[in-house]
Amino acid sequence: MPLLVVGSVALDSVFTPFGETADALGGSAVHFSVAAALLSKVKVVGVIGNDYPVHELDRLAPRGIDWSGVERADGESFRWKGKYSYDLQSRETLETRLGVFASFAPKLPADWRETPFLFLGNIDPVLQLNVLEQIKRPKLVVCDTMNYWIQGKRPELMKLLERVDVLLVNDSEARELSGNWNIHRAGRWILERGPKRVVIKQGEYGALLIQAGSTFYVPAYPLEEVFDPTGAGDAFAGGFMGYLARVGSVAPEQMRRAMVYGSAMGSFAVQGFGVKGFEGVDYDAVQRRVKAFVDLTHVPAAARIP
């Protein structure tokens, strides 16, 4: 089934102990789409300035990404610059230049308004709500947010949570939003505010899917080389929603499988700078990594101990 993402299309400059890159393709919509397109066709709504390397987006289009919903505005594109610590668990934002993204007002093409699967990338909750007003009868709405919006637009964010099916955040965001240190209590608190499910990403420790009456955990894939964690969470979201759109179902067992596909995509994302971690990755490679996840967590039934 069709899949739609609304989010940032940016240029990132990243410094890690293992290398650096300048003006690489970035932004929530880009990382999400590159991952999701391995499983389902993706439509993108965003905005870029007249300095954006459009030919790089065109190069990715044959993967199954429709960029026709990305507006081109006069001015500079959204740019972010950051530096990671040696363990890649913490980062320092060195520079953020919103450019044309500062006045971004998402407009969905008329024939995109019945897209059944919608991902609201990490943007102002006011804009996320605006997008929801344009969508007709969605089958699944998943949204992301961050500490900046939790602190600065909390009333709008809480209103948004009443209307989404899944909130997808990292552990620090879940704790700040709920005021609960315990991640499981934080997840339950979020469920009481509207979403039917919450996905809590925990970096190298995996991710949790919390819903009424049950919790499911998927580990992170054990990698020996990690270059750049930027966009890994968006790639996770792309795998998660790409799988659900591919099977056209939001049944509980499919949600669990989607978590594994999300973790698989996140593991590809960190293996290169920007979106380069996905170079050479095809559907078969995704399936092999998903199988590796199954092998990683499978516990064979043992004979009864006398």
> What pLDDT does residue 91 have?
82
**305: in domain:** no
**302: in domain:** no
Domain that residue 177 falls in = 3-297
> What pLDDT does residue 204 have?
84
Which tokens belong to 52?
């954006």
> What pLDDT does residue 85 have?
84
In sequence order, the 6+-apart residues with CB closer than 8 A to the CB of 215 are 184, 187, 208, 209
Identify the H or E element spanning 34: helix 28-36
Beta strands in 17-116 (DSSP E): 19-26, 42-48, 65-72, 78-84, 91-97
Alpha carbon 211 to its chain's center? 19
**304: in domain:** no
Q: How far apart are CA 92 and CA 266, in angstroms?
A: 21
> What pLDDT does residue 160 have?
96
State how many domains the chain has: 1
Rounded to 5°, the CA angle 64-69-73 comes to: 130
Which residue type is seen at 209? L
Report the CATH number at residue 39: 3.40.1190.20
**306: in domain:** no
**284: in domain:** yes
**303: in domain:** no
Mean pLDDT in order along the chain per 10 residues (306 residues): 93 88 92 97 96 94 95 94 82 88 91 95 93 94 92 95 96 95 96 97 92 93 85 95 96 96 95 90 95 88 80
**199: in domain:** yes
**59: in domain:** yes
Which tokens belong to 79?
């740019």
